A and B are shown apart, each in its own frame.
Chain A
Amino acid sequence: MAGPWIGRLMAYCGAEVIKVESRDHPDVTRQYIPPDAPERGVETQLSPWLTDWNAGKRFVGLDLRHPEGASIARRLAARCDIVVENYSAGVLERLGLGLAELRRARPDLIVLSSSGYGATGPCRHYRTWGPNLEALSGLATVSGFPHRPCTITQYAYPDVASALHGLFAVLCALEYRSRTGQGQHIDLSQFEVTVASMGHVLLEFLANGVEPPRLGNRSRHAAPHGCYPCAGGDRWIAIAVASDDGWESLCRAAGKPRWRSDPRFATREERVANAAALDEEVSQWTRTRDAYELMHELQRAGVAAGVVQTVEDQFLRDPQLAARGFFERISHARKGEVVANGIPLGLTETPGRTGLAGSAIGADNEYVLGTLLGMRAAEIRRLADAGVVQGEHAPLSACRGANTG
């Protein structure tokens, strides 16, 4: 999923992004069965993940196993600045779309190959999804509470980290190309991105030979530092106090002079050493409080505090995200309009925008093949009849598998 999100971000910034798919190998984000109507089966255009990962792109359907399909792909590459691919090692070479062929089509092309383990090495063919990489990188082991040997996110964090690092790498290559006219190949290993993203944690082993302790929400240099229960079911507030000023502010806001005079909490070092007792005190105090009221009280007192929000909270109860227009309304060919989490690149002079929320395989065949490549309508029809150019008019030949990002 790292590859598709790079394209999503580029499309948001105004790049023309063309997604090449085939009916046999549709993007995994299309594998969606509506939970309220599973009898309808896979609904490739209705998938919300299509919006999250593939909005704003043009969609062309090509059978790359067919020589004419590969040839069209090479002609497309010749018209592009950047190719992003995440095929298993060796597949594109077999299709006649390897780096050498693509460079023949366009010498200054920038090609990013995204994979789980990288393009070289004994494990280059291994398969992973985001959570596999959390486990493999050690992130799942060094994160979380001491009694949990494996802590996993529901949002496939390594996919996101890999896409952002991949985007940065492509932009570096573009900068180099605009200076020198030279393209290049980028080998992006999601495993390596994930390890680099937690490099300072790993460094504790590399430097000192000890496993980084699982701290849960605690900090080695700040206390209180954690998620504290609030009134209501599964309601929490995060509070982070690092300085003596912050501690005094917290004691004042909580109306707890007793905390301030407690010798166990007198200095930052004492508070960190007695974090368990301190967490218990703070939890007793927050337990009956409304999370949002408490956040505002603490922030007014200058204490870093935030409600542990769900997406529903963010959408309905977060005036900051609302004021900044974080959620984006995007038009959708069949649903009319959908809403998606924003792309917070923060470019104030050249703000981004998402076009269509994602459409069918081959929805833009005519534009891509006709307008961009100048192919005649009869030629496109002939290739469509031969199954080389594909659209979603026919049912998906193999609605393989599940429905996740």
Chain B
Amino acid sequence: MSSGAEEIEHRGGTDRPQALAGRRVLELADESGVYCGKLLADMGADVIKIERPGGDPARFIPPFWGGEPGPNRSLFFLYTNTSKRSITLDLRKPRGRHLFRQLARRAHLIVETFPPGYLDALGLGYASLRELNPELVFTSITGFGQTGPHRGFKCSDLVASALGGALHLTGAAKDPPVALAGWQAFITACAFAAASSLIALYHASRTGKGQRVDISLEECAAAATHVCGAAKWLDDHIVPRRGGTRLFASVPSGAYPCRDGLAYLMVNRVHHWRALARWVAEVTGNNVLLDPLFDGPSANRQPHGDFLDAVLTEFTSRFTVEELYREGQKRHLAITPVRTAAAVAGDDQLAARDFFVPVEHDAGQTLAYPGAPYRLDETPWRIRWPAPRPGQHNRGVYGSELKLTEAEIRSLEEEGVIRSGWPPLAHPEPSRESASWNSLPAWRVRGSAGSWRTAGPR
């Protein structure tokens, strides 16, 4: 398929093959599911993002590039929609549904995040699409899955992290439970969904049979916490809870103060403990940590955690973070700096590996993006182009690929079925259409007079 967008040239070149080239994916996803599409698209799949006429409200999730809202300024949206194509389509209109069925007939995979039953009610659920396309893999990412008494519950990253057990295991004991930044429940579920979808595609290409992939945000969060999960609790009857920066089973572990910041230190094997104890003795002249009382596995040191922390704090406070990091690693100790975003952006290892990739946007602006999570030597990961504008690929998809005439496309635009223009029209009806889109902000659009007004979906 032609991309309709100019490929970004960078390391690895555009001549290299991509692992998922030739796979056609339709994405109907809100912020809970877009990272799944990004994983697929950056590996070469043709991911067509289907947006409501006017565009996806996720385009207005703050913060924005340059601080100024705009349909292609949301940093979340830009990051999670690289290498995708965008078409606009109103699934509530009969002609929109007809077009969607035509697209589904040609697709290998659909990734969607509507509430259970929503697409079925439109006649576009898995049951009807599999009739058109038996090999189709239909992946749904929802708060609680397609079955069970809570399938209709409302969800968000925070709620999934709460029920999934992640919140109770994060932060300081004295504070309320707290979420990781960056919607990690969504990210985890999307990584599960992307892997599952490939497994289902593999099965489909061997057997000719597609399937429904039913991803639950709550379950994915619960799976992510498995090291503090049922196997351990039922074994030792200790309910794990958040406990600051020290890990429950590793002594010592935690964020220790240096002269100019914090460093994270974790000892997990006895030879690491001995190396640390020797180092402390060398530097401080204090041999107390060499006492056999503290030798052996962490369990031996567990009763003395506070004492050890006091000795170690006195030790680490003599160094800068950088000194402790480099010297500790020289001694094979797992010591890392507690980094700010700025420090990560300037990290020597990431720089040596060309991790950050420049991506050229409209108007010649370039932005450095966090790069490949994995490096495949034959089929490299690649941001082929930045996040598309709403409906940027309408003509390519509806015209070149579905073979609609220009007159047909125009009539679809006039009816509002595939209207791509900006700003969007307010939706005429009060929208309860999608609970999975309800966690989004009302769209804010700069009107012609330069004043803010609120447009669709409510």
Interface: B194 (CB within 8 A): yes
* Cα(A165)–Cα(B164), bound, Å: 20
For A319, give the chain B residue with the smallest CB separation.
B149
* Cα(A225)–Cα(B159), bound, Å: 10
* Cα(A344)–Cα(B141), bound, Å: 11
User: Which residues of B sit under 8 angstroms from A206, Cβ to Cβ?
Assistant: 345, 356, 367-370
* Cα(A128)–Cα(B298), bound, Å: 17
**B residues contacting the other copy or chain, number (CB 8 A):** 167
User: Which residues of B sit under 8 angstroms from A176, Cβ to Cβ?
Assistant: 17, 19, 376, 378-379
* Cα(A193)–Cα(B39), bound, Å: 12
Q: Which of A67-75, A142-150, A382-390 contacts B (4 or more CB under 8 A)?
A: A142-150
Beyond the given pairs A152-B245, A323-B149, 5 more chain A to chain B contacts, judged by CB atoms under 8 angstroms and listed by A's residue number, are A169-B376, A236-B176, A306-B153, A340-B230, A344-B219
Inter-chain contact A324/B267, CB cutoff 8 Å: no
A-B residue pairs, 7 tightest by C-beta = A401-B269, A402-B298, A238-B162, A199-B370, A349-B211, A344-B219, A135-B264
Q: Which of B71-79, B117-125, B285-293, B393-401 contacts A (4 or more CB under 8 A)?
A: B71-79
Of B20, B157, B336, which one neighbours A128 at CB under 8 angstroms? B336
What is the distance, in angstroms, from A59's C-beta to the closest C-beta of chain B? 18
Decide: A186 near B376, CB < 8 A? Known: A234-B241, A401-B273, A401-B297.
Answer: yes
Q: Which of A90-98, A297-305, A363-371, A372-380 contacts B (4 or more CB under 8 A)?
A: A297-305
What is the distance, in angstroms, from A328's C-beta to the closest C-beta of chain B? 9
Interface residues of B in 136-195 (CB under 8 A from A): 139, 144-145, 147-151, 153-172, 175-182, 184, 187-188, 191-195
Interface: A45 (CB within 8 A): no
What 0/1 readout, one digit per residue, does chain A (147-159) give for beta carbons within 8 Å of chain B?
Answer: 0111111111101
User: Which residues of B sit under 8 angstroms from A197, Cβ to Cβ?
Assistant: 182, 184, 187, 373
What 0/1 readout, one digit per residue, does chain B (250-269) give for beta carbons within 8 Å of chain A?
Answer: 11011100000011101111
What is the distance, in angstroms, from B154's C-beta to the closest C-beta of chain A? 4
* Cα(A225)–Cα(B176), bound, Å: 13
Q: Which of B6-14, B96-104, B411-419, B438-446 contacts A (4 or more CB under 8 A)?
A: B438-446
Max chain B C-beta neighbours (<10 A), residue from A120, A176, A186: A176
Interface residues of A in 51-91 (CB under 8 A from B): 51-53
Interface: B65 (CB within 8 A): yes
* Cα(A307)–Cα(B344), bound, Å: 34
What is the distance, in angstroms, from A98's C-beta to the closest C-beta of chain B? 14
User: Which residues of B sit under 8 angstroms from A350, Cβ to Cβ?
Assistant: 199-200, 203, 211
9 A-B residue pairs with CB within 8 Å? A203-B369, A206-B367, A216-B178, A217-B178, A227-B167, A227-B176, A348-B211, A349-B209, A404-B227
What is the distance, in angstroms, from A322's C-beta to the closest C-beta of chain B? 8
What is the distance, in angstroms, from A270's C-beta to the closest C-beta of chain B? 13
Inter-chain contact A132/B335, CB cutoff 8 Å: yes
What is the distance, in angstroms, from A278's C-beta to the closest C-beta of chain B? 15
What is the distance, in angstroms, from A302's C-beta to the closest C-beta of chain B? 6
**A residues contacting the other copy or chain, number (CB 8 A):** 166
Inter-chain contact A347/B253, CB cutoff 8 Å: no
User: Which residues of A sit under 8 angstroms from B199, Cβ to Cβ?
Assistant: 13, 171, 345, 347, 350
What is the distance, in angstroms, from B339's C-beta to the closest C-beta of chain A? 5
What 0/1 readout, one digit per residue, does chain A (317-345) give for beta carbons within 8 Å of chain B?
Answer: 01111011011000000000011111111
User: Which residues of A sit under 8 angstroms from B171, Cβ to Cβ?
Assistant: 144-145, 148, 151-152
Inter-chain contact B213/A347, CB cutoff 8 Å: yes
User: Which residues of B sit under 8 angstroms from A304, Cβ to Cβ?
Assistant: 153-156, 158-159, 439
User: Which residues of B sit under 8 angstroms from A324, Cβ to Cβ?
Assistant: 145, 147-148, 216, 219
For B225, give the chain A residue with the smallest CB separation.
A155
Interface: B299 (CB within 8 A): yes
Interface: B53 (CB within 8 A): no
Interface residues of B in 43-100 (CB under 8 A from A): 43, 61-63, 65-67, 75-76, 78-80
Max chain A C-beta neighbours (<10 A), residue from B193, B342, B371, B379: B379
Interface: B308 (CB within 8 A): no
User: Which residues of A sit under 8 angstroms from B1, Cβ to Cβ?
Assistant: none
User: Which residues of B sit under 8 angstroms from A307, Cβ to Cβ?
Assistant: 162-163
Decide: A171 near B202, CB < 8 A? Known: A199-B370, A311-B228, A319-B148.
Answer: yes
User: Which residues of A sit under 8 angstroms from B37, Cβ to Cβ?
Assistant: none
Inter-chain contact A204/B63, CB cutoff 8 Å: yes
Inter-chain contact B341/A142, CB cutoff 8 Å: yes
Interface residues of A in 286-317 (CB under 8 A from B): 299, 302-315
Decide: A42 near B158, CB < 8 A? Known: A145-B171, A217-B176.
Answer: no
Inter-chain contact B165/A173, CB cutoff 8 Å: no
Inter-chain contact B298/A240, CB cutoff 8 Å: no
Decide: A143 near B179, CB < 8 A? Known: A195-B344, A195-B355, A402-B298.
Answer: yes
* Cα(A138)–Cα(B345), bound, Å: 10
* Cα(A116)–Cα(B458), bound, Å: 46
Interface residues of B in 338-356 (CB under 8 A from A): 338-345, 348-350, 352-353, 355-356
* Cα(A137)–Cα(B79), bound, Å: 17
Interface: B270 (CB within 8 A): yes
Inter-chain contact A135/B338, CB cutoff 8 Å: yes
Inter-chain contact A33/B297, CB cutoff 8 Å: yes
Interface: A31 (CB within 8 A): yes
What is the distance, in angstroms, from B102's C-beta to the closest C-beta of chain A? 25
Interface: B33 (CB within 8 A): no
